[in-house]
Structure 1
Amino acid sequence: MSWLLLLIAGILEGAWIYGVQKSAGFTHIYYTLFAIFSMSASLLLFALAIKTIPTAQAYIIWLAIGVCSICIVDHFIFKQILSAQQLVFLCLIIIGVVGLKLSH
């Protein structure tokens, strides 16, 4: 269950970045509230996950999932191009996360 919470927390990292970018300097209240909610939920879920997952390992995974989700948001929503090299290295990050999970 903790791993699922950590996965959702990492995905929420991408959500709050989306909210911050769309808030236009915190001038659009709905995007600002979305960003604050996503950030708070991400941190809460991370805190719950580290009750059973070692903190250092959980933090690395949280960041890795967050980086991947931010790249996905940037690509699909903000139309930023991902090069083949970037895709390869994102896949390596995902492989590293799966490896950490399997070794736990």
Structure 2
Amino acid sequence: MSWLYLAAAILFEIIGTVAMKLSQGFTKGIPSILMVVFYILAFACLNFSLRAVPVSVAYAIWSGVGTAAIAVIGYFAFKESLTVMKISGIFLIILGVVLLNVNAGQSQEQGGSQETHLKS
């Protein structure tokens, strides 16, 4: 269930960020309200996901996937540029998320707890 909360947090963060763009600096009322609502939902779901997902993994996935998705949405919806540098950055974000998940999986297989890793 925690992973579903994380997925919802990512979706809500993406919607909130699109609403932020559409709010044009808080000059448009409905997108401004939607931005606030969706960011509150995003943080609530992120918080619920932390019951079982390590914070380092959850936050990296939440921010990384959200950032990559917004870059792609910006290109298609808002006609923003998608340069080789941006594509490379998106690739590195995805690579970082994968590496964090592999590392988290190895830590759990070794029987290590978060508390043990924090103390050492």
Q: Same fold (TM over 0.5)?
A: yes
Alpha-carbon deviations, 1:17-58, whole Å to 9, x = none? 211121122222211121112101110110010010111221
CA distance in 2, matches of 1:72, 1:12: 16
Calculate the TM-score normalised by the size of structure 1.
Answer: 0.83
Q: Does the aligned pair in 2 maintain the 1:10–1:62 contact within 8 Å?
A: yes
Aligned twin of 2:73 = 73
Alpha-carbon distance, 1:63 to partner: 1.2
Q: Which structure has more RCO (C-alpha within 8 Å, separation ≥ 6)?
A: 1
Aligned length: 104
| Larger deviation, residues 4-13 vs 15-24 | 4-13
Report if aligned partners of 2:16, 2:35 keep a CA contact under 8 Å in 1.
yes
Separation in 1, partners of 2:24, 2:86: 27
> What residue is the counterpart of 2:29 in the other structure?
29
What stretches of structure 1 of length at least 5 have no aligned partner? Answer: none
1:42 aligns with 2:66: no
**Secondary structure of the structure 1 residue equivalent to 2:78:** coil
Q: CA RMSD in A?
A: 1.8
Deviates more, 1:71-80 or 1:85-94: 85-94
CA distance in 1, matches of 2:89, 2:19: 25
Q: Which consecutive residues of structure 2, in runs of 5 or more, have no partner in the other structure?
A: 106-120
Distance 2:37 2:77 in 1: 20
Equivalent residue for 2:86?
86
Max Rg structure:
2
In structure 2, C-alpha distance between the alignment counterparts of 1:4 and 1:94, rounded to whole Å: 19
Q: Using the aligned pairs only, state the percent identity.
A: 28
8 Å Cα contact 1:12/1:39 also seen in 2: yes
Contact 1:14–1:73 at 8 Å: present in 2 too? no
